């Protein structure tokens, strides 16, 4: 099924999706955003849809997963913001200045480490790090779920080897 054909079929379910999104978000604007994200992902991954199965059900699963992923991302952001507010004391200025230079070196080392990992492993790892589920990565790349997990594991192993000095305390 091509994207145009799928978007026409998916569009027929937009009203029902919106009602379902309202149950998740309890906010009109957020529900509209969730429906839009769901339809975009549905069209993007329509090649993975099995013709003859329930389009509406498939879109509901995408919506649920999108909502859960967005919720987790928002929770992480709130945690980070909360930690930053707790650490905003003027007494930490000297420490933060020193830490900025160390962080610059660490970020450069992390960038080099990621560059050393083959693209076959690094791309699935980056997508997972961005919050995508294994299944979403598998669908996007068109490879088996087990292969995605293996590639992510391989990327982690290579990064651990490359960044070993930080784990052992030598990077401090």
What distance lies between CA 148 and its chain's CA centroid? 14
Residue 171, domain member (yes or no): no
Long-range CB contacts for residues 112-119, cutoff 8 Å, separation at least 24 = 112/162, 113/158, 113/159, 113/162, 113/163, 114/159, 116/158, 116/162, 117/155, 117/158, 117/159, 117/162
Q: Mean pLDDT of all residues in the chain?
A: 80
Pair 147, 119 in one domain: yes
The pLDDT value given to residue 172: 46
**In the chain, how many domains are there?**
2
Pick from 88, 108, 125: which residue ends a domain?
A: 88
73-77, 100-104, 126-130: which has the minimum mean pLDDT? 100-104
Q: Which of 57, 73, 88 is the last residue of a domain?
A: 88
Q: What is the pLDDT of residue 49?
A: 83
CA 42 to chain centre: 16
Dist CA 170 CA 105 (whole Å): 13
Q: How far apart are CA 16 and CA 171, in angstroms?
A: 54
- pLDDT digit string, tens, across residues 123-132: 998 888 888 8
Phi, psi torsion values for 144, nearest 5 degrees: -60, 155
pLDDT in tens, 148-157: 999 999 988 8
Q: Which of 17, 24, 16 is nearest to 41 (CA)?
A: 17
- Whether residue 170 is contained in a domain is answered as no
For the segment 31-74, what is each residue's pLDDT rounded down to a tens digit? 999 989 888 888 888 888 887 888 888 999 999 999 998 888 88
Do 84 and 97 fall into the same domain?
A: no
**Domain enclosing residue 58, as ranges:** 1-88
Residues 79 and 96 in one domain: no
Q: Residues 20, 60: contact at Cβ < 8 Å?
A: yes
Domain membership of residue 52 (yes or no) is yes
Dist CA 113 CA 11 (whole Å): 43
- 105 or 94: which carries more pLDDT confidence? 105
pLDDT, position 139: 94
| Statement to judge: residues 64 and 4 lie in one domain | yes
Task: Locate 159 and state its tokens.
Answer: 């990064």
172 occurs within a structural domain:
no
* pLDDT above 70: percentage of residues in the chain: 78
In a domain, 99, yes or no: yes
Q: Is the confidence at residue 142, as pLDDT, over 90?
A: yes
Q: How far is 141 from 133, CA to CA, in rounded Å?
A: 12
Q: Half-sphere exposure of residue 83, counting CA atoms within 13 Å on the CB side?
A: 6
């Amino acid at each position: 099924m091509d994207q145009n054909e799928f978007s026409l079929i998916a569009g027929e379910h937009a009203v029902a999706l919106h009602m379902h999104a309202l149950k998740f978000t309890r906010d009109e604007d957020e529900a509209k955003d969730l429906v839009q994200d769901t339809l975009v992902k549905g069209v993007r991954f329509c090649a993975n849809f099995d013709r003859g199965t329930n389009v509406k059900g498939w879109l509901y699963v995408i919506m649920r997963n999108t909502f859960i992923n967005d919720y987790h991302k928002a929770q992480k952001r709130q945690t980070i913001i909360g930690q930053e507010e707790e650490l905003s004391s003027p007494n930490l200025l000297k420490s933060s200045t020193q830490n900025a230079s160390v962080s610059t070196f660490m970020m450069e080392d992390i960038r080099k480490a990621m560059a050393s990992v083959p693209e076959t492993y690094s791309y699935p790892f980056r997508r997972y790090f961005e919050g995508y589920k294994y299944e979403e990565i598998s669908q996007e790349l068109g490879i088996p779920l087990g292969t995605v997990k293996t590639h992510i594991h391989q990327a982690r192993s290579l990064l651990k080897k490359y960044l070993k000095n930080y784990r052992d305390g030598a990077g401090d």
